[in-house]
Structure 1
Amino acid sequence: MADAAVRAAIPVLDLDLFCDASLRDPFADYRVLRDAGPLVRLTRPDVYAIGRFADVQAALRASDALINGEGVGFSDAFNAPKGMNVIQSDGDLHRRLRSTVTRPLSPARLREVRPDLKAMIVERVRSLAGQGWFDAMAGLARFLPVEAVSHFVGLPAVGRERMLEWAAAAFNVIGPDQEPSDVQSLREAFGFMAGLGKDKVRDGSWAGELFAAARSGRLSMQEAMAAISAYVIPSLDTTILAKGHLLANLARNPDQWALLRARPELIPGVVLEGVRRDSVLRWFSRVAVEDYAVDGATVPRGARVMLLYGCANRDERHYDDPDRFDVTRDARDHLAWGTGPHMCAGMHLARIEMEVLLEALVEADVTLEAGEPEIGANRGLYGFTALPFRLGQG
């Protein structure tokens, strides 16, 4: 009876956030969810949902009450590989796996590779400037993530060309329904990872370091493989799509691009504003191991709860005029990369990639023009599949 009373106090919404229309334009549904209350019950999938900024931020930090180890998706296909998985682990295991993954991704280590990344993107921008219309997703956004990840991780050439397909499939499987082709792609990705060994990766690369640590006994081979998969699967599409949003926002707001060109010191903050306004990661879920309070409402013990990152980052209760792209906004507390123990391990690399892209564009003294993008319907990620773009001279 007590549980029924708790549930009766929580609004029930018949919103299908996983339908194609909502996936391509989720913001009206996000507002409905935020306005309905701090905690709502969705009918599809049958989960509790949190969408307001303060409540999502608190939930992400409540890792003892809301755990990842039961999976963070909404399907068995996504949640099945539990335990030896950085994001779907908790406690000491999570800390050990995360420490392994973040070692080469520390700001100090990444400062060493920043000049190389900058040189690569400067050359790419130079080759595109004044050359007419092109697809910015393929021509600019994908360039550094694919090149950088494959090079730094030290992956063999065979299989590299499938990385984007595998990354997209992994996030698409997060939803309550799956396409058989995505499930098969995910199996192929895990098969590729399982076939890696010290003889197939570049010496001195991130993967090479992990295999060396496993040989010395500092890591188990299972932990090393989990770390390698964390480099490849989550790190590609998230950064690529974030760059697409950033380029589109600057092109659509010429006053903001003019301000950034006049004040390039704003670039680090502009990256944060870009990922805040158009959060690529839509949501993850957690399971409550105890009753969890959300501003007077309660997620019952054992229930799955949906944390909506993109919804929280557009919360007018926290950000003034949140739909506006503002290069002077202080968005350091955004939730696009999460917060708490499971905060995105690759965020420093993502920031550098976006910063050097903006630096290259400012230094090239170009104008930006964007056409109408094609918006994808990936169940885990929000972004463009194509973006017509033009870099004008001066």
Structure 2
Amino acid sequence: MSIIEAPGAVDLPDEIARRVVLPEGHSEDEPLFEAYRWLRENNPLGLAKVEGYDPVWLVSKHADIMEIERQPQIFTSGGGEQPGSHNPILQNQAGDEFTKGLTGGSLRVLDTVTYLDPPEHTAVRGIAADWFRPANLKQWEERIRTLAREAVEKRLHSGTNHLDFVQDFALFYPLHVIMSLFGVPEEDEPRMMALTQEFFGTADPDAQRADIEPLGPEAAAQQWSATIQDFYAYFDVLVEERRKSPQDDLATIIAGARREDGEYYPKTFAYGWFVAIATAGHDTTSSTMAGTIEQLALHPELLAKVKEEPKLVPDLINEGLRWSSPVKQFTRQATEDYTLRGRRIGKGDRFMLLYQSANRDAEVFDEPDTFRVDRRPNKQIAFGYGPHMCIGQHLAKLELRIMLEELLPRIQSIEVAGERKVVQTNFVGGLRKLPLRLTLS
């Protein structure tokens, strides 16, 4: 790896670097967001050198992330001309070495769009791109609304509900929606839920697998790999079933995808799609829902405003996405020398794109640390930007809109009733616990 240092303060203070890079630095929101603020104001493109990790540039500003994301030929996700040579999900060195040991030297642990670059990325994304377009999703709106109503009736009741909004409600509805549209039987949803928590909770003591030694430096990679293998074992049956007996669901589209030569894509590409849908397809939505409801609990005047003006629900969702930003980071690698924000970047340098920080950038957002339902325009990039922008963004917004349209008119009051807790992860996560007193009509 070649880091070409420019004049000025390049290296970041150890405290800031560790807070942002290490999973345990994300166990509390306030110190983390203070670190993001320090970066934006003092060293928006600084070099983090944390023991056990490769050096990585921390990209904290909205404009810089957009500049990187719109140029996948320069800032590769999966390795560019050497596929599998770069890990787009930040791991420590021990974890990367463990992964390479499993794959024969590659860091491409999944054949999914996250690990791919154009033109392969374009082709694989295209397998299901049409299904996720807004025009196609309209046909599922009534089905999703039925699921939203069922979720409210099943998990909430009239009067005061004392509940952990995350564990008792927010996690279940998006999972049930995506699994229903996907084609996974309802009785298998608890298995998908458990695997998702393990998949995104590799560094969280509350989500550790019993078969992984938690103290080893490669523990996160071990849990990641073991969970992926469990997903593969489940989805292999689903691929075979859909290829033999196609149905009107998303699983059939993915399992039946063929290359230009007419042959099926290798099963690993179907697995990659299925894992992405079964994890990011619901976990990020539940995190956004919980973060949004927490803000309505903290600011009753906002709840009253949205109840009075339901047309504000889409704006509420956009602000909830900006505020929560459940995807904290992806990494990219430079394929050539480049100049970014006055820094001379070397070929092979790595970048950690800090979406949470970018969504609090005062150059883009007025009063960035205030939750505002009247924020227009709202240039949040919680779904990323460029070719890697989340393919499921329209479905996520549809799920959130329908749930809020069903739930908010019935809410009389929301109060925080205990200590919140966030998932300890530097990748994808949000609230793990949110005790509420939620009163419904």
Please, what TM-score do these two structures have when normalized by structure 1? 0.91
Contact 1:284 1:307 in 2 (8 A): yes
The separation in 1 between residues aligned to 2:160 and 2:246, in whole angstroms, is: 36
- 1:274-323 deviations in whole A, cap 9, x for unaligned? 11012111111001101232211122111111100001111122211111
Answering whether residue 330 of structure 2 is matched by residue 284 of structure 1, we say yes
1:28 pairs with one of 19, 29, 34 = 34
Could you give the per-residue CA deviations for residues 177-226 of structure 1, whole angstroms, max 9, x where no partner exists?
Answer: 53444442233223333343242687211112223344993752344333
Q: 1:227 corresponds to which letter in structure 2?
A: W
Q: 1:195-274, aligned counterparts within 5 Å?
A: 195-199=237-241, 203-214=247-258, 217=262, 219-222=264-267, 223-274=269-320
8 Å contact 1:369–1:391 — kept in the other structure?
yes
Please identify, of 108-117 and 271-280, the stretch whose mean Cα deviation from structure 2 is larger: 108-117
Q: How many residues align?
A: 393
- Name which of 193, 206, 223 aligns with 2:235: 193
Deviates more, 1:205-214 or 1:278-287: 205-214
- Aligned equivalents of 2:159, 2:218: Cα separation in 1: 44
Question: Does residue 430 of structure 2 align to residue 383 of structure 1?
Answer: yes
Alpha carbons 1:41, 1:47 under 8 Å: kept: yes
8 Å contact from structure 2 (residues 284, 428) kept in 1: yes
Map Cα deviations across residues 100-127 of structure 1 (whole Å, 9 max, x no partner).
Answer: 1322211112111111211222243344
* Larger deviation, residues 58-67 vs 8-17: 8-17
Q: In 2, distance between residues paired with 1:368 and 1:360?
A: 16
Q: Which whole-Å CA distance do the structure 2 matches of 1:319 and 1:43 have between them? A: 30
Q: Secondary structure at the match of 2:281?
A: coil
Distance in 2 separating the partners of 1:393 and 1:91: 49
Are the structure 2 counterparts of residues 4 and 118 from structure 1 closer, same or farther at C-alpha, using a change threshold of 3 Å? closer
CA contact (8 A) 2:5 2:343 kept: no
When structure 1 is superposed on structure 2, of 59-68 and 101-110 the one drifting more is 101-110
**3-state DSSP class of the match of 1:91?**
coil
Please say if residues 73 and 174 of structure 1, whose CA atoms lie closer than 8 Å, have aligned partners that are also in contact.
no
Match of 1:92 in 2: 119
Instruction: Give aligned-pair identity as a percent.
Output: 26
Partner of 2:191: 162
TM-score (norm 2): 0.81
TM-superposed deviation, 1:49: 1.1
1:344 alignment partner, one of 390, 393, 406? 390
2:359 maps to 313
* Alignment match of 2:138 (pick from 87, 97, 111): 111
SS in 2 for 1:74: coil
Q: What displacement does 1:91 show?
A: 0.9
* 1:392 alignment counterpart: 439
**Which consecutive residues of structure 1, in runs of 5 or more, have no partner in the other structure?**
none
CA root-mean-square deviation:
2.7
> How far is the alpha carbon of 1:326 from its aligned partner?
0.4
136-145 vs 217-226, greater mean Cα deviation? 217-226
Structure 2 partner of 1:121: 148
Distance 1:274 1:385, change over 3 A: same
Letter of the structure 2 residue corresponding to residue 148 of structure 1: V
- Which is further off, 64-73 or 14-23? 14-23
User: Residues 169 and 186 of structure 1 are in contact (CA less than 8 Å); yes or no, is this contact kept in structure 2?
Assistant: no
- Look up the match of 2:57: 48
* Partner of residue 209, structure 2: none
1:60 aligns with 2:64: no
Asked if the contact 1:299/1:305 (under 8 Å) is kept, the reply is no
- Partner SS state of residue 408, structure 2: helix
* 2:356 is equivalent to residue 327 of structure 1: no
The 3 A distance-change label for structure 1 pair 112 and 291 is same
2:165 is matched with 136
Cα separation, partners in 2 of 1:80 and 1:67, compared to 1, 3 Å: same
Moved more, 261-270 or 217-226: 217-226
Q: Which 10-residue stretch deviates more, 111-120 or 256-265?
A: 111-120
2:127 match: secondary structure? helix
Partner of 2:211: none
